[in-house]
Amino acid sequence: MVTEATASQDVHATAPGEDLSGLTAAASRFAADITFADLDAEVRHLSKRCLIDGLGVMLAGSEQPGMAALEAFIAGEGGTGVSRMLGAAARRLPATRAALWAGTAGHAMDWDDTQLAEGPGRPYGLLMHPTVPPLAAALAVSDLVATEEGKPVGGERFFTAFNAGFEVACKIAEAINPDHYMRGFHTSGTIGTFAAATTAAKLLGLDAAGIARTLGVAASMAAGIRAGFGTMTKPLHVGRAAENGVTAALLVRQGFTANEEALDGKWGYLAVAGPGGEPSLVRERFGKPFTMASPGVSIKPYPSGVLTHPSMDALLFLLREAGLAPDDIARVTLRAGRNVLGPIRYRIAKTELEGKFSFAFLLAAIVLRGRCGKAEFTDAFVASPACQAMQQRVETAFDQQIEDMGWDRIRSRVVVETKDGRTLERWADENYRGSPHNPLSDAEVEGKFRDCAAGLLDAAGVDALLQSIWNSDGLDDAGVLLEQLSWRK
């Protein structure tokens, strides 16, 4: 478990005798050697679920308020258009900007999937969002490669590159000291850069040495700090991860040099940004098993941080079982440890972006609407008098008993006080909905996609796109996904 003592260590320190070598080489060899045949039926099925989820949240995110400013920035930059813009396939952008756009959209609602930890001392649910960075890179670079080669990128090639980036990043996230996140780095922005870099390099046909150099360039571009949570900057972290990963691969293809051991050693990424880490946990385990399969990923039922979901469900189920209406509620108190309360920073949310990191808003939405989805995450609903008033009735409290249970799971309990004097309690289910221990069904994943697509694609378009994704490994042209995702001129 991360402690205050570990958080005060020198950022450049490594433990005596700590072996930080060999991770870059192992990651690069894995990415260079992986073929579609290495993906078994389980990984292929899970990949399709991740694609449905990732493309869905990209679609929903492409209409979020912050995207207007990003679109104006991209338009002002210009450049040679080779890659289709997600949501507006008639528009072509430079591959780096197409990746920036898709990656930012994919995290704009904080609804993308979450990697689970498996190593000792790793706080559960605090690694990275693994799908969007490599998926954004795969979409953008596939278009670039298709233009250069004069033929489309097929589903097997697209699938393999996506999985290469997904797996490399998840293993790096597992290896790095968890103090990386606790100090304030946003792992999806930092480690996500390595995901996009690996996927881009694989699609561009770079060999193991080229992928190692790409990771070397990416290591000097990987960024994102948690101070941006609750603002438009947080999703930009993931967009920049995708853009920087593509940039790194394209630079290396042009002959750009970099340290081929940039994840390793005294001044490598793990030592500097961790500090330290345990490459031995993962160095010989790339694809053995694939992280996507074990310990797995969480597909989010709610567009907020995964740490909030068990508590939201606990309140939802308690209200249903007790038959309580909003006017019955006098007070709601959420009791949890630091791993749950610490990252959720806003006492009262004034905007939907703040709402993603405000238990007052998230639980108020459950009370008022009995749900918390795309329709609730709007500035208008967050700022409404009813929502602001209900937020005032929601509090959080540190609970030492829950803290002492450890951070290996997301633990909390909700306490509801009613206006007629009753006090009702419910513990959150450690096997929360969406986790690998209690996964959303395929139908529920499709249902989430339909929610994301609401108002953007018609029912026939959604059905056709879902069919394409379920058959994506057999597509002759993976670019059809971008065409079917288009909802704008």
Q: Spell out the residues 6+ positions from residue 208 whose beta carbon is closer than 8 angstroms to its own.
A: 25, 28, 29, 31, 32, 33
Distance CA 435, CA 66 (A): 29
* Alpha carbon distances (Å) from 274 to 3, 31, 115, 216, 468: 14, 23, 18, 16, 40
Query: Residue 343 above 70 pLDDT?
Result: yes
- Among 136, 210, 140, 196, CA closest to 165: 196
The model's pLDDT over 15-30, given as tens digits with 9 standing for 90+, comes to: 444 677 899 999 999 9
- Among 82, 81, 87, 95, CA closest to 67: 87
Taking residues 285-299, report their average pLDDT: 95
What is the pLDDT confidence band of residue 462, given thresholds at 50, 70 and 90?
very high
Place of tokens 């007052």: 360
Place of tokens 């190692």: 212
Bigger pLDDT: 122 or 382?
Answer: 382
Taking residues 383-412, report their average pLDDT: 95
Q: Which two tokens stand for residue 245?
A: 């990963």
For the chain, the structural domain boundaries read 4-298, 306-427
Report the share of the chain in percent with pLDDT over 70: 95
Half-sphere CA count of 136, side-chain side, radius 13 A: 44
In angstroms, the first-to-last Cα distance of the chain is 50
Query: Residue 50 above 80 pLDDT?
Result: yes
Do the bridges between strand 329-336 and strand 394-398 make them parallel or antiparallel, or are there none, so unpaired? parallel
Distance CA 229, CA 184 (A): 10
pLDDT value for 9: 36
What is the pLDDT confidence band of residue 2, given thresholds at 50, 70 and 90?
very low
Distance CA 426, CA 420 (A): 19
pLDDT value for 448: 96
What is the pLDDT confidence band of residue 149, given thresholds at 50, 70 and 90?
very high
pLDDT value for 1: 33
Query: Residue 439 above 90 pLDDT?
Result: yes
What is the pLDDT confidence band of residue 350, given thresholds at 50, 70 and 90?
very high
Taking residues 128-133, report their average pLDDT: 96
Q: What is the mean pLDDT of the chain?
A: 93
Taking residues 451-470, report their average pLDDT: 97
- 119-133, 138-152, 282-296, 444-458: the lowest-pLDDT one: 119-133
Report the share of the chain in percent with pLDDT over 90: 84
What is the pLDDT confidence band of residue 4, given thresholds at 50, 70 and 90?
very low
Which superfamily, per CATH, for 4-298? 2-methylcitrate dehydratase PrpD (1.10.4100.10)
Q: Are 35 and 163 in contact (CB under 8 A)?
A: no
pLDDT value for 126: 66
Taking residues 44-63, report their average pLDDT: 97
Query: Residue 5 above 70 pLDDT?
Result: no
The model's pLDDT over 79-96, given as tens digits with 9 standing for 90+, comes to: 999 999 999 999 999 999
What is the pLDDT confidence band of residue 3, given thresholds at 50, 70 and 90?
very low
The model's pLDDT over 263-279, given as tens digits with 9 standing for 90+, comes to: 999 899 999 998 888 99
Taking residues 121-150, report their average pLDDT: 91
Place of tokens 């693994």: 130
Query: Residue 11 above 50 pLDDT?
Result: no
* Alpha carbon distances (Å) from 100 to 97, 104, 133, 139: 5, 6, 9, 11
Quick count: other Cβ atoms within 10 Å of Cβ 8? 8
Query: Residue 6 above 70 pLDDT?
Result: no
| CATH class of domain segment(s) 306-427 | alpha beta
pLDDT value for 430: 77
The model's pLDDT over 352-384, given as tens digits with 9 standing for 90+, comes to: 989 999 999 999 999 999 999 888 999 999 999
